[in-house]
Amino acid sequence: MFIGGEWMNASGSQTRTITDPANGETLGTVPETTDQDVDLAVKAARRAFDDTNWGSTDNAATRAQLMRDLAAKLREVAPEFAKLDTQNCGKPLIEAEGDVADAANCLDFYAGLATSTMGQTASVPMNMQSMVLREPIGVAAQIVPWNYPLLMAVWKIAPALAAGCTVVIKPSELTPLTVLELAKLAQEVGLPAGVLNVVTGVGEVAGVALTNHPDIDKIAFTGGTDTGSKIMAAAAKGIKNVTLELGGKNPAIVFADANLNQAIEWIAFAGFANQGEVCSAGSRILVERSIYDQVVERVKIIAQNIKIGHGLAQDVRMGPVVSKEHYDKVMGYIQKAKEENCRLVCGGSHPAGAQFANGHFIEPTIFADVTPAHTLFREEVFGPVMSFTPFDTEEEAVRLANDTEYGLAAGVFTEHIGKAHRVVKQIKAGIIWVNCYHPTFNELPWGGYKKSGIGRELGKYGMEAYLETKQVNINLDQSELGWY
C-alpha cells in the first residue's frame, strides 16, 4: 500500500492474489488492509491537509503543475497501463487505451481548474463588505469499482487534488494494480507525502473502516446501489459530505424514424461495450413496433460476430467478465430470464473452445419480448445481456423508459428533432445521448437521478463536490452598534 509517501505491507501480513480473468494467471499479490492500516492512511492524509499548505490558494499553481506532470508521466507509460488494466479486469485493449488517454486528459482538465476557484462578492446593506469563499473540504475517502480501475480512480483523485483536498483511495479488491502504479507515478513527480494514499482490500474491512473514520470529511463512492445505501448510512452517522455514483437499468429508445444504419451499431455498443460491465450500459432497448423485428435481427447479427477473447488479442471487442463470482451472477440472470419465458435471441452460454476454458467468458446475449414484469427489465445485470421491448406510441416509450428505480443514463434514436427534445425533457436520467451512446467528456457532469446516486462528478461540478462554501461579512462602519 501507499501511505504517507511510503510503500508498506498490511499490518496483519495478509495478502490477496490478483489474477487475469481471461485465463486465471497470477498478476501479482497485494496487501489485505486492516482497520489499523486504514487509520494510518487517514492520519497521513489528515496531517498533509492540516499541517501543510497543500490546500491553500497560494499553492494552487503548484497543485496544477504537479497534476500536469502526473498527466504527462501517465502518457509516457500509457501502453503499460492499458495492458495492465486489460489483464486485470478483462476489457479489450482498445478500450483500456481509451481509458488511459481519458485519465490523462482528466488530470489536465482539473489542473486547469485548480487555479480557477472563484468565490464572489455581494452588495449588501449596513455598510458591509460581503464575500463567498470556496475552500477544500479536507480529507476525502474514495472507493472505486473494478470496471474502470484507472479511469474511475482519476475521476475522483483529480478534482479532489485540484480543490486542495487530500485523499485516501481504495480500489476494488479485484483490480487494484493500475491505481497502485498511478501512486508510483505521483511519487515520481513529487506529490507531497500524505496527499495521495492507496489502501487495498475488501469493502467489508477497508471500505467500512474508511467510511466510518471520524477524520474523514468527504466520502465519494462508485459502485452498486446496495453498497451505496450502506455508505450513505455510515456518512449520516458522522454527517459527512457524500457523493454516490451508483447503478443503472438504462433504456435506449429507438423510434421508427431513426436512421437505422447509423443506430444499429450504437445500440449494440450501448449494451456490449466493456462486456456490459458499465453502470450506464444501455441494457433495455425499447423499439417502436413497426421496426421491432428488424432491429432485433440486425443487432443479433452484430452480437454473433463480436470477436471474444483475451483483451490483448488482435481485434477482440469483448473480453471476460471480471471474476468467477460475477460470472455466476450474470449467468444466474440469464437462467432467470429463460425461466420467465423471455425469448432468447442469441448467446446465453459460455463460448466453446479451448481458448475460453479457463476464463470467465459469456457470449453476447440478447433476449426479446421482455416486459416490465420480467426480472431482466428491472434489475441491473452488469454483463453482456441486453433486453428488447416493443412500444407503440411516444408516450408509452417514455413511460417504459422511466419505469425503473434508477435514473443514470438513456439513449434516444430519432431523426425528428422535435421528438428528440420532447423525449429528452421527459426522461428522468442524468446523462442522455441522442443518436449515439456512451461518449463521455471530462468537461460535463456525470451522475444520476433516483437510486442512481447523489451529486455529480466531472466538469466544474466534480470540483465543487470537494469544496466548502464560506460566507464572510466585514463591517466597514466605524460607529457603535447601539443595540443595548
Residues marked as catalytic: 245, 279
Name every residue whose Cβ is closer than 8 Å to that of residue 421 and which is 6 or more positions away in sequence.
none
410 three-state secondary structure: strand
Contact 174, 18 (CB under 8 A): yes
Label the pairing between strands 166-170 and 343-346: unpaired
Q: Which helix (H) or strand (E) holds 468?
A: strand 467-475
Q: How far is the C-alpha of 364 from the C-alpha of 361, rounded, in Å?
A: 9
Integer Cα distance of 151 and 240 in angstroms: 25
Amino acid found at 325: E
Measured CA distances, 321 to 19, 84, 264, 337, 382 (Å): 12, 16, 24, 19, 9
User: In angstroms, rounded to a whole number, what is the distance separating the alpha carbons of residues 33 and 200?
Assistant: 6
CA distances from 316 to 273, 304, 385 (A): 11, 13, 18
How far is C-alpha 83 from the chain's CA centre? 20
The SS3 call for residue 283 is: strand
Residue 66 is inside which H or E element, if any? helix 60-76
Q: Return phi, psi of residue 171, to 5°.
A: -70, 170
Count the neighbouring beta carbons within 10 Å of the beta carbon of residue 359. 23
Tell me how far apart the alpha carbons of residues 272 and 303 are, in angstroms, rounded to a whole number.
8
Question: Could you say which DSSP state residue 446 is in?
Answer: B
* Type and span of the H or E element at 366: strand 365-368
- Grid cell listed for 93: 485493449
User: Up-side HSE of residue 226: CA atoms within 13 Å toward CB?
Assistant: 4
